[in-house]
């Protein structure tokens, strides 16, 4: 039996190294790793890399191998340089073979045989650039001497671990980009959660939960992620660089995307099957899945020699979106022999078949109309059809299949596609060869669970603004039941026949009422959160009317209309024409809307932007257009994208306000596969019921106090009496955050009137508990927007700040506190907060106080686990205060500077200094003199080298084997104390 220890290094960091070692990674101590990289200014194990380069490329000379290494080391440490490093890792860079007088690809990694590579893992990796401050990574994984993954660990008992780890990785980008120059991936873990992402794109939105195995145990997660074959495959196949809005970005495919790509490639290689359906919900990265599968087929000449991949899209907007990625992802592939063409016309497409083109083709589905039957009888043509549920509508699918009858055709869809049992729709076309009707499926509920997308909450607008149920049934549902409505154009044709419905929705009086409601709701519920909204109108005329109406209630620059053009508008619809924006303005609006700090804040739309446009900052959709099935779900999915604001606050849900009444009957509005969307859409009325229940339970569990106590004593008794145990705090935090999330979504609402006081008190208690047990004491920082505004003034007035007060950690303070009123546990926390502040304010002194801090933390842990009470903890802290006072007295008597005494303390307490003839005090004085000779050693690498060399003289009395270790510790002290 042993005592549980919880800490960052003990619980998370060292076990990770052990777990990785079990699957084939070789552990190195920090000292061994620093030796292999020849000092802290370097990132590569140059000798290891040189050996592997020569092993994998015997045609290279040693000089050439070193030149390759120097080239990699010289790459600029930014995202573009990181892309170059990945190309080197993947063998996409060439070098001249002097013997054969030709250029050849240089191989740095043997992806096919993981055992042929040198896989290392080390910890406490310090980088010290010449002209900037250094930083330290918790764990680094290296392949053949090149760092590929950086890991940030956080203590499992600490809150906000993910946020703090993200902040740290971003700080590395600014302070020491060299630390991330080569690394491609990062892990963030605090044992209870294991996440991953890519370097140079460290955002909560792009940090994913690792769920590769059913067993969520930490050991299994580490070993699944770093299993050599799968890990090398991640480097080779799953990391993507791309350009979006003119900016280089980086991502990594998630597990569901990887599984789908492998299934697609396997289906394309299957001689028995030539159809498949990929059903991945909107927002789950379907486009990257499609492109990666195409890339792998075109690169794999051993299985798909001379093949053609055709990416089929059904509208200019999506083609343009794909085109930029295709140019960068496909145009810069390893094999320069792979070409690609875009079919800009039917004649272009016919020529592609007639000329027997091999490579990538991008074409719109409409270009297949009238393409000659049997234009190509090859069986190594692979067609990937985006938005397959509508792309093959009418006769277009028949033209495609008739033109290339032996092609393998894979359909991709982001919306449920009918019942596989009935064999209708896309299942009939693409899914007949799979028992379940699809080759791979990633449902809405799965994506919400994985945090790929967000749940969508909806509310019905006031009844006078919505259509009567029977009228909606008669005028819209009956009409749309007659049509297989799969896109906006088809929907608009249905609405053209619903004359009474359009007249109701477009009436001037109603539009004014709706606009006023939207303006007030937006100002109270959306804008304060820093989010944006769509106003979806029934047609272009209604869009123009909404623009005029919203301008009466909101600043005109807050909203903008975006809809398609019609040359007859200038005559038939002059107001629509007057408000039509130019193509350049529309391009600007698309970009500006994605930025939280830019205007417009509301886009008024009816056809454009309802599919294929992703703006994570979009939170609310004011829905005033009848929709159902594919079109409805695609439109709703505009608000389900995860988003993190500048304050690191995460968007929790997407919100839809229904002015039509479509969502009144979800089953009818989403008639297909209701099980797939069940739980993805939830009525706000149900959330209100949930809030009433949760806030009542929280009030009963946390707000009841002894009425005999004074108000301040009541608060202290709750904070230090009920929440001393970290587990009790965690339960309270979780309960409070559930209530806070509901409050942020639902307020303001008249039904919350009776709960305002209770919620405010809960929020203040949460702030007080966070302040009492936090090292920083910034107790308002993690409250969300509306809540912060609600309690900010009250929190100050009611003196919650006293829970973050700092008490000097010394004997006098302890004696004084013993006679003060209040819980002893609270006094202990304030004393330790004072000790931490003293260490932060005096880096040199922190070296001396570190051992005291460790002992103090152990006392705190014993108090939290109820091994001792607050009074006993105060007695033990008194002993530490005396130890601290004695150290201070010794420092003053020594005559050394703070830094010099820190060196002495380290030599006498942490090094093997108990050696005859060695005097730590004398050595410290000599080191002070040496240090004075090198005033710029931190910025000047040459001075640093000379300083280190001269430090050997003061420690010559130590045994030879112990000197290097002593020098390392001295340098660490000097860096920490500077």
User: 798: exposed, middle or buried (C-beta count within 10 Å: 0-12, 13-18, 19+)?
Assistant: middle
Please indicate, yes or no, whether residues 577 and 721 belong to a single structural domain of this protein.
no
For residue 324, the model assigns a pLDDT of 54
Please indicate, yes or no, whether residues 283 and 376 belong to a single structural domain of this protein.
yes
Query: What are the Cα distances from residue 593, in Å, to 107, 321, 613, 616?
Result: 44, 17, 11, 10
Please indicate, yes or no, whether residues 433 and 408 belong to a single structural domain of this protein.
yes
The answer to whether residue 2 is domain-embedded is no
pTM (global) more than 0.85: no
Cα separation, 921 vs 904, whole angstroms = 6
The answer to whether residue 247 is domain-embedded is no
In the numeric block, which tokens belong to residue 769? Answer: 């508990």
Cα separation, 36 vs 41, whole angstroms = 12
Please indicate, yes or no, whether residues 173 and 26 belong to a single structural domain of this protein.
yes
Please indicate, yes or no, whether residues 716 and 854 belong to a single structural domain of this protein.
no
The answer to whether residue 248 is domain-embedded is no
For residues 448-462, average pLDDT = 80
What is the separation of C-alpha 411 from the centre of its chain, rounded to a whole number of angstroms? 28
Q: What confidence tens digit (pLDDT) does each residue in 206-254 have?
A: 778 887 655 567 788 888 999 999 999 999 999 988 777 677 888 899 9
The answer to whether residue 244 is domain-embedded is no
Please indicate, yes or no, whether residues 829 and 937 belong to a single structural domain of this protein.
no
| Other beta carbons within 10 Å of 796 | 11
The answer to whether residue 245 is domain-embedded is no
The answer to whether residue 892 is domain-embedded is no
In the numeric block, which tokens belong to residue 276? Answer: 């498949």
Q: Is the pLDDT of residue 69 over 90?
A: yes
Residue with tokens 């109108």: 537
Q: Is the pLDDT of residue 381 over 90?
A: yes
Torsions phi, psi of 791, nearest 5?
Answer: -110, -10
Residue 361, Ramachandran bin (φ over 0: left; ψ between -120 and 50: alpha; else beta): beta
The answer to whether residue 361 is domain-embedded is yes
Contact yes or no for 881/868 (Cβ under 8 A): no
Domain end residue (candidates: 416, 449, 482): 449
How would you classify the pairing of strands 208-209 and 194-198?
antiparallel
Q: Looking at residue 633, which CATH number applies to its domain?
A: 3.40.50.300
Query: What are the Cα distances from residue 351, in Å, to 313, 354, 375, 868?
Result: 19, 5, 10, 84
Please indicate, yes or no, whether residues 266 and 276 belong to a single structural domain of this protein.
yes
For residues 960-971, average pLDDT = 76
- The pLDDT > 70 percentage for the chain reads 72
Residue with tokens 């609402």: 749
Number of domains in the chain: 6
In the numeric block, which tokens belong to residue 868? Answer: 């001792």
Please indicate, yes or no, whether residues 482 and 606 belong to a single structural domain of this protein.
yes
Q: What confidence tens digit (pLDDT) does each residue in 893-923 have?
A: 777 777 777 777 777 765 555 555 677 777 7
User: 52: exposed, middle or buried (C-beta count within 10 Å: 0-12, 13-18, 19+)?
Assistant: buried
The answer to whether residue 570 is domain-embedded is yes
Domain carrying residue 823: 805-887
Contact yes or no for 866/728 (Cβ under 8 A): no
How would you classify the pairing of strands 308-313 and 239-244?
unpaired
Domain end residue (candidates: 789, 804, 819): 804
CB neighbours of 431 closer than 8 A, spacing ≥ 6? 275, 276, 277, 420, 437, 438, 439
Strands (E), 396-516: 408-413, 440-442, 456-460
| Other beta carbons within 10 Å of 418 | 21
Please indicate, yes or no, whether residues 841 and 799 belong to a single structural domain of this protein.
no
Please indicate, yes or no, whether residues 142 and 203 belong to a single structural domain of this protein.
yes
For residue 613, the model assigns a pLDDT of 81
Cα separation, 218 vs 199, whole angstroms = 22
CB neighbours of 305 closer than 8 A, spacing ≥ 6? 380
Please indicate, yes or no, whether residues 793 and 818 belong to a single structural domain of this protein.
no
Please indicate, yes or no, whether residues 478 and 422 belong to a single structural domain of this protein.
no
Domain end residue (candidates: 827, 859, 887): 887
In the numeric block, which tokens belong to residue 41? Answer: 């200014």
Report the interhelical angle of 711-722 vs 756-773 (nearest 10°): 60
- The pLDDT > 90 percentage for the chain reads 26
């Amino acid at each position: 039996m042993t005592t549980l220890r919880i800490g960052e290094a003990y619980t998370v960091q060292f076990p990770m190294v052990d777990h990785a070692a079990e699957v084939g990674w070789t552990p190195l101590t920090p000292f061994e790793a620093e030796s292999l990289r020849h000092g802290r200014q370097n990132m590569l194990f140059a000798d290891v890399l040189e050996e592997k380069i020569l092993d994998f490329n015997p045609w290279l000379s040693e000089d050439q191998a070193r030149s390759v290494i120097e080239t990699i080391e010289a790459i600029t440490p930014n995202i573009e340089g990181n892309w170059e490093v990945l190309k080197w890792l993947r063998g996409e860079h060439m070098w001249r073979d002097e013997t054969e007088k030709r250029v050849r690809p240089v191989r740095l990694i043997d992806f096919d045989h993981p055992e042929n590579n040198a896989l290392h893992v080390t910890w406490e990796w310090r980088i010290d650039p010449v002209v900037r401050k250094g930083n330290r990574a918790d764990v680094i994984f290296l392949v053949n001497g090149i760092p590929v993954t950086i890991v940030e660990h956080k203590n499992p008992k600490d809150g906000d671990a993910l946020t703090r780890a993200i902040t740290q990785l971003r700080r590395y980008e600014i302070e020491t980009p060299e630390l991330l120059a080569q690394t491609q991936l990062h892990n963030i873990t605090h044992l209870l959660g294991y996440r991953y992402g890519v370097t140079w794109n460290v955002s909560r939105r792009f940090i994913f939960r690792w769920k590769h195995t059913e067993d969520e145990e930490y050991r299994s997660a580490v070993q699944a992620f770093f299993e050599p074959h799968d890990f090398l495959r991640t480097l080779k196949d799953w990391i993507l660089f791309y350009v979006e809005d003119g900016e280089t970005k980086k991502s990594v495919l998630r597990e569901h995307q990887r599984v789908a790509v492998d299934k697609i490639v396997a289906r394309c290689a299957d001689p028995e099957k030539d159809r498949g359906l990929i059903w991945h919900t909107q927002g789950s990265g379907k486009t990257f899945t499609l492109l990666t599968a195409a890339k792998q087929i075109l690169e794999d000449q051993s299985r798909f020699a001379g093949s053609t991949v055709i990416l089929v899209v059904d509208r200019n907007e999506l083609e343009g979106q794909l085109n930029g990625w295709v140019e960068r992802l496909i145009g810069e592939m390893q094999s320069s022999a792979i070409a690609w063409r875009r079919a800009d016309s039917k004649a272009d497409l016919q020529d592609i078949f007639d000329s027997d083109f091999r490579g990538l083709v991008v074409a719109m589905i409409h270009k297949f109309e009238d393409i000659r039957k049997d234009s190509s009888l090859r069986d190594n043509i692979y067609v990937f059809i985006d938005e397959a549920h509508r792309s093959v509508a009418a006769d277009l699918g028949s033209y495609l299949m008739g033109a290339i009858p032996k092609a393998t055709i894979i359909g991709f869809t982001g919306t449920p596609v009918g019942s596989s049992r009935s064999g209708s729709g896309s299942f009939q076309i693409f899914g007949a060869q799979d028992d379940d009707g699809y080759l791979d499926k990633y449902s809405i509920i799965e994506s919400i669970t994985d945090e790929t997308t967000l749940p969508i909450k909806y509310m019905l607008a006031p009844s006078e603004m919505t259509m009567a149920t029977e009228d909606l049934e008669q005028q819209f549902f009956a009409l749309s039941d007659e049509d297989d409505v799969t896109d906006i154009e088809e929907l608009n044709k249905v609405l053209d026949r619903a004359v009474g419905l359009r007249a109701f929705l477009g009436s001037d009086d109603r539009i004014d009422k709706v606009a006023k409601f939207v303006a007030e709701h937006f100002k109270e519920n959306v804008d304060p959160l820093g989010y944006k909204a769509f106003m979806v109108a029934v047609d272009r005329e209604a869009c123009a009317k909404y623009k005029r109406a919203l301008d009466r209630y909101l600043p005109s620059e807050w909203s903008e209309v975006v809809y398609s053009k019609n040359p007859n508008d200038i005559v038939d619809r002059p107001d629509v024409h007057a408000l039509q924006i130019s193509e350049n303005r529309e391009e600007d609006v698309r970009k500006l809307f994605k930025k939280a700090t830019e205007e417009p804040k509301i886009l008024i739309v009816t056809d454009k932007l309802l599919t294929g446009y992703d703006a994570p900052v979009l939170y609310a959709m004011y829905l005033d257009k009848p929709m159902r099935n594919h079109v409805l779900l695609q439109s709703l999915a505009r608000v389900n994208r995860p988003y993190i604001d500048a304050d690191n606050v995460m968007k929790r849900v997407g919100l839809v306000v229904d002015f039509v009444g479509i969502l009144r009957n979800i089953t009818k509005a989403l008639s297909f596969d209701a099980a797939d969307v069940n739980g993805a859409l939830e009525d706000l009325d149900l959330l209100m019921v949930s809030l009433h229940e949760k806030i009542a339970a929280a009030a009963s569990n946390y707000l009841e106090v002894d009425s005999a106590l004074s108000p301040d004593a009541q608060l202290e008794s709750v904070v230090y009496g009920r929440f001393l145990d970290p587990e009790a705090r965690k339960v309270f935090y979780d309960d409070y955050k559930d209530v806070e999330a509901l409050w942020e979504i639902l307020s303001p609402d008249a039904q919350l009137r009776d709960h305002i006081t209770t919620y405010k008190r809960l929020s203040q208690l949460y702030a007080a508990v966070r302040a009492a047990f936090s090292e920083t004491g910034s107790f308002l920082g993690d409250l969300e927007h509306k809540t912060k505004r609600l309690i900010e003034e009250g929190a100050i007035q009611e003196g919650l700040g006293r829970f973050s007060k700092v008490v000097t950690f010394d004997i006098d303070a302890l004696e004084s506190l013993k006679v003060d009123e209040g819980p002893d546990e609270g006094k202990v926390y304030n004393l330790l907060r004072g000790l931490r502040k003293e260490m932060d304010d005096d880096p040199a002194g922190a070296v001396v106080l570190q051992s005291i801090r460790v002992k103090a933390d152990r006392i705190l842990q014993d108090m939290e686990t109820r091994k001792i009470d607050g009074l006993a903890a105060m007695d033990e802290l008194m002993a530490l205060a005396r130890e601290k006072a004695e150290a201070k007295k010794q420092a003053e008597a020594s005559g050394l500077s703070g830094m010099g005494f820190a060196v002495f303390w380290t030599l006498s307490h942490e090094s093997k200094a108990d050696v005859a003839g060695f005097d730590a005090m004398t050595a410290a004085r000599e080191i002070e003199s040496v240090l004075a000779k090198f005033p710029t050693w931190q910025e000047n690498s040459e001075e640093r080298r000379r300083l280190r060399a001269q430090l050997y003289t003061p420690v010559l009395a130590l045994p030879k084997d112990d000197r290097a270790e002593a020098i390392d510790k001295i340098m660490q002290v000097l860096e920490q104390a500077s």
